[in-house]
Structure 1
């Protein structure tokens, strides 16, 4: 759940603040800033939540299944699958290639030349980011449903 919450919050921050802020800047600055942020996100703090979330959910599901908590296990499995497909895989197949393309752009000298480059990138990137954000929120909610299925007798799992 912590991993799901962390990655949902990360994607959500891009939806409701980061991209809106970049869209108010001179497009040349927005391109440079986005490239810098995309480069800095590849780090040991981000990687566990981004890559580990489906594995943590899968391990929780497997553990719960073995412990006889089948309903909770199904919810955690669904959580991991949703994030793996529409968070992790979507990012790798859509957002990362878009970021890599933007990194290849030589930032134009004029604002007028940079404007259509940024507007096209930002509009498309934000659509896909909203999809992965929603999917990550769904994955978090599915995990929360799994927790509710544990019930009062589940304290034996923690002993």
Structure 2
């Protein structure tokens, strides 16, 4: 088992870093490019665009990074622990917990319900009404993201 564990630990470590980088990069890029860009456009366009993006993000490419990152981090922590690497095991487990609470849980309990509420709103023809809807949504969404 000792000859196999270093390869498994290394493979899981790299996979954990790639998955973590993918999902946190997604969150980061979504706020500082997508949301800020939408904030600069006609709010009717922003609402319509966000509705389309939220509908398209649930796909097979997004799924692994969003849902499997804590699984991969947990497996890495377990493999590290079995391999006798307690300190790195702790940090991979901590990363899994941080993502579960601050990424996955918050997104599913705060941002997704906000997205679903926005999806149910017909895009207003009146720009001022659209601006109020968008500003309320965007500010809260960015804060929780």
* TM-score computed with the length of structure 1 as normaliser: 0.80
Runs of 4+ with >6 A deviation = none
Give 1:14 deviation, angstroms. Answer: 1.4
Number of aligned residue pairs: 129
2:42 & 2:88 partners in 1: Cα distance? 49
Any idea what the Cα deviations from partners look like across 1:78-121, whole Å, max 9, x if unmatched?
A: 00000011100000000000000000101111112211001100
1:98 aligns with 2:114: yes
RMSD of aligned Cα (Å): 0.6
2:33: which partner in 1?
Answer: 17
1:117 aligns with 2:113: no
Q: Classify the secondary structure of the residue corresponding to 1:108.
A: coil
1:81 & 1:2 partners in 2: Cα distance? 17
Give runs of aligned pairs for residues 31-46 of structure 1, distance below 5 A: 31-46=47-62
2:63: which partner in 1?
Answer: 47
* TM-score computed with the length of structure 2 as normaliser: 0.87
Gaps of 5+ in 1: 130-159
2:93 & 2:129 partners in 1: Cα distance? 47
Gaps of 5+ in 2: 1-16
1:7 & 1:66 partners in 2: Cα distance? 27
> Which one has more relative contact order, counting CA pairs under 8 Å at least 6 apart?
1
1:88: which partner in 2?
Answer: 104
2:142: which partner in 1?
Answer: 126
Give runs of aligned pairs for residues 50-65 of structure 1, distance below 5 A: 50-65=66-81
1:152: which partner in 2?
Answer: none
2:75 & 2:103 partners in 1: Cα distance? 18
2:129 & 2:86 partners in 1: Cα distance? 57
